[in-house]
Chain A
Amino acid sequence: MPTVELRFAALNGHVRTARMIATAVSRRAGVPVGATDEIKLAVTEACARAVRVNRRHAPQAPVHVALTETPDTFTVTVADRGQAGDEVAPGPDGGLVTASTLLDLEPESTAPPWWSEPADDDPAADSAGFPPGLGLALIEGLVDEVQISRGADGIGTVVAMTWHTGAVVPPSVPAL
């Protein structure tokens, strides 16, 4: 059972609230201080993505956030009610593509396609032509484990992000 659950209307202004709650609960759960910044950013990206997806497909539906702690893990799930696969950019191995790959800023690339497009003057377009899926790609770089699945009733996407909070496993030492 989740430690804390939160449902909020699909509005950008509530993303900060979700971020603050996740931060507070993660601290209580004993997440190392160094991981707090990662949790803040990952939760923000996941919630901002869910808000966008809901506003496109189900503007009346709330975004659902569940924060769950076990002795060794802290997990945040963020569920939207949009179309499956919206703003999910799968990588070649079936996992998520990394942010630098998605932005085509790998060492061998010179001018990524999104880069040469002129700045968009549409006030709604704050993404500067970033490809959809950047939020999840960023999360991939911030989280110990991330799982993307369909909603339980087949609607929407659930992003589950897990951080390991237990004692750090020491590198294996050869038995004497």
Chain B
Amino acid sequence: MDLSLTTRQEGNHTVVVVGGEIDVYTAPKLREQLIDLVSGGSYNLVVDMEGVEFLDSTGLGVLVGGLKRVRAHDGSLHLVCTQERILKIFRITGLTKVFPIHSSVEDALAANE
């Protein structure tokens, strides 16, 4: 399955809903989306990963790149993920210390009010 991306506005946050597989081949598409959002002035991002079936280190790199970009504008990047197989990758790398990870978009938005 390829990567799917949709975005919507929730107050002053932009929610990016990601589905499918984020790997070395598809990650550039997510990278472009995050760069476009930041270039367009969206500095508070919530990336909803509940529909993600696979994530590799390239995908992690893209998320870290996105986080660096929004931070350069005093923004934020929150993740929504409850899937154990995806969370495990964040734990193995220690990146759970870098990303705020929430169990729902509502929680992510509330946490960043």
A15 to B22, CA, bound (A): 12
A141 to B95, CA, bound (A): 14
With A15-B23, A120-B65, A123-B28 as known contacts, state yes or no: A99 contacts B94, CB within 8 Å: yes
Q: Please tell me which one of the listed residues A44, A51, A118, A135 contacts residue B68 in the complex, with CB atoms under 8 A apart.
A: A118
> Which stretch (A24-32, A69-77, A125-133, A158-166) binds chain B?
A125-133
Distance (whole angstroms) from the CB of B32 to the closest CB of chain A? 8
Q: Which residues of B contact A37 (CB under 8 A)?
A: 85, 88
Q: Which residues of A contact B60 (CB under 8 A)?
A: 128, 130
A98 to B91, CA, bound (A): 12
Flag whether B5 is at the interface (Cβ < 8 A). no
What number of A residues sit within 8 Å (CB to CB) of B?
35
A123-161 near B? 1/0 per residue, CB < 8 Å: 100111110001100100110000000000000000000
B63-99 near A? 1/0 per residue, CB < 8 Å: 0111011001000000000000100110011110110
B20-47 near A? 1/0 per residue, CB < 8 Å: 0101110110010001000000000000
A173 to B93, CA, bound (A): 35
> Which secondary structure dominates chain B's binding surface?
helix
A39 to B55, CA, bound (A): 13
Does the CB pair A40–B54 fall under 8 Å? yes
Q: Which residues of B contact A100 (CB under 8 A)?
A: 92-94
With A44-B56, A119-B69 as known contacts, state yes or no: A128 contacts B93, CB within 8 Å: no
Footprint of A on B, CB under 8 Å? Answer: 21, 23-25, 27-28, 31, 35, 54, 56-58, 60-62, 64-66, 68-69, 72, 85, 88-89, 92-95, 97-98
